[in-house]
Amino acid sequence: MTYLDHAATTPVLPEVIAAISQAMTLTGNASSLHTSGRAARRRIEESREAIAAALGARPSEVVFTSGGTESDNLAVAGIYRARVAADPRRHRIIAPAIEHHAVLDVIEHLVADAGAAVTWLEVDDFGRVHADTLAAAIAENPADVALVTVMWANNEVGTVNPIRELAAVAHTQGIPFHTDAVQAIGQVPVDFARSGVDAVTVTGHKIGGPVGVGALLVRRDTPVAPIMFGGGQERSIRSGTLDKAGIIGLAVAVQDAVAHRAERAVAHAALRDELIRAVTAQVPDVLLSGDPGAGLMDGGPSRLPGNAHLRFPGCEGDSLLMLLDAAGIECSTGSACTAGVARPSHVLLAMGLPEPDARASLRFTFGHTSTIDDVTAVAQAIGPAVQRSRRAALAGARRR
């Protein structure tokens, strides 16, 4: 199979597998005081220090979680509840509608069950949030804003946001700023201290690490109410027995992603551009969604190097995906967390695209195992697949 769905999950790095396998032979709960417990705690703290160093954070700012969804929930719900507890007037959340559902759905939950209000930020045609848009949203009533959350890079179309600038706008009014950096780490420079943000979501399985482990980088002076209760681990922000093996694997993956980011970015961008060229040669009316990728954003590319999000007019993305899958090519129509849901991409709709265009898209994403052979496979299969998909869509329209 040709695997081009690295934005959904990446193959686990051999070094990570080796580290996890060795860690799983060790006994000891990191909360225990005996020798094995202290040894487990030491390994976890060494991993915490490694992750902090790689991402520009202090070790005390790294809170371990079960992954991106929990980190997003903890950041949004935790900061919201802490802010409301301190000042009940602060009940408004500001976010763009292009966020991952791990953010969107917790916001909707807070609106329904916790009295939150939400201001949805408009995005431009590339899916980017601009600082003046955020400033205008805050200016409606700065005193009622609990937090702002804007993803570092969009998981579907690959557009990178001006996170430092957006965080600075929020901080002019003393408002905490959270960003989901799940797609950004390993593809663009991510430095927690330099970014100025208050909380950053991290997960392992997008960078060659294990599924089921992640972290929330959160400043010590940012109030966060826990959403899980128990033993008081992780600064009492996130209770639960720590996954020693998973955390060790996460540290190896984060270090690898940061160490090889620059060289992989060049390689992945070259593969992405060649894929776009090759697909365009076979399907001349194909359209690229998101930032073209020629600019810079916060010292890195304005589009994720490994992302090619393409729209095929006259096709249904789901049928085109299955035709490519039958040809041995694995890609996606968008976020894997909404796979199988028969609705158009909320990201593309928020960018102003009509529903037929939003349904006619495929996302190809590259990772550490990708090669030029993957591009060649797509180039050979895409033309016939598009033709079949268009014929099927036309036949379906006639039947209706």
Domain with residue 303: its CATH number is 3.90.1150.10
Tell me the C-alpha distance between 185 and 180, whole Å: 10
* Eight-class DSSP state of 333: S
Domain with residue 197: its CATH number is 3.40.640.10
Q: With 60 as the cut, is the pLDDT of residue 254 above it?
A: yes
Q: With 80 as the cut, is the pLDDT of residue 399 above it?
A: no
Q: Count CB-CB contacts under 10 A for residue 62.
A: 26
Verify whether residue 331 is a known catalytic residue.
Answer: no
Do 158 and 274 belong together in one domain? no
Beta-carbon contacts of residue 243 (< 8 Å; ≥ 6 apart): 64, 66, 212, 213
Domain that holds residue 334: 2-9+261-399
Q: With 80 as the cut, is the pLDDT of residue 284 above it?
A: yes
Do 238 and 270 belong together in one domain? no
Do 267 and 253 belong together in one domain? no
Q: What is the pLDDT of residue 251?
A: 98
Of the residues 12, 337, 349, 379, which is catalytic? 337
Do 63 and 199 belong together in one domain? yes
Q: With 60 as the cut, is the pLDDT of residue 289 above it?
A: yes
- The average pLDDT across 248-266 equals 98
| Domain termination site, one of 229, 258, 287 | 258
The count of domains in the chain is 2
Do 123 and 238 belong together in one domain? yes
Q: With 80 as the cut, is the pLDDT of residue 337 above it?
A: no
Do 320 and 349 belong together in one domain? yes
Q: How confident is the model at residue 342 (pLDDT cuts 50, 70, 90)?
A: low
Do 236 and 167 belong together in one domain? yes
- The average pLDDT across 322-330 equals 97
Tell me the C-alpha distance between 352 and 150, whole Å: 18
Q: What is the pLDDT of residue 294?
A: 86
Q: What is the pLDDT of residue 224?
A: 98
Do 110 and 60 belong together in one domain? yes
Tell me the C-alpha distance between 251 and 255, whole Å: 6
Tokens of 386: 């598009």
What is the DSSP annotation of 311-349?
Answer: E-TT--HHHHHHHHHHTTEE-BSS-GGGTT--S--HHHH
Helix (H, G, I), strand (E, B) or coil at 241: coil
Do 285 and 392 belong together in one domain? yes
Q: What is the pLDDT of residue 118?
A: 98
- The average pLDDT across 150-165 equals 98
Q: What is the pLDDT of residue 335?
A: 55
Q: With 80 as the cut, is the pLDDT of residue 396 above it?
A: no
Q: What is the pLDDT of residue 240?
A: 95
- Best CA proximity match to 250, nearest among 39, 30, 13, 5: 13
Q: What is the pLDDT of residue 330?
A: 98
Q: What is the pLDDT of residue 398?
A: 74
Q: With 80 as the cut, is the pLDDT of residue 93 above it?
A: yes
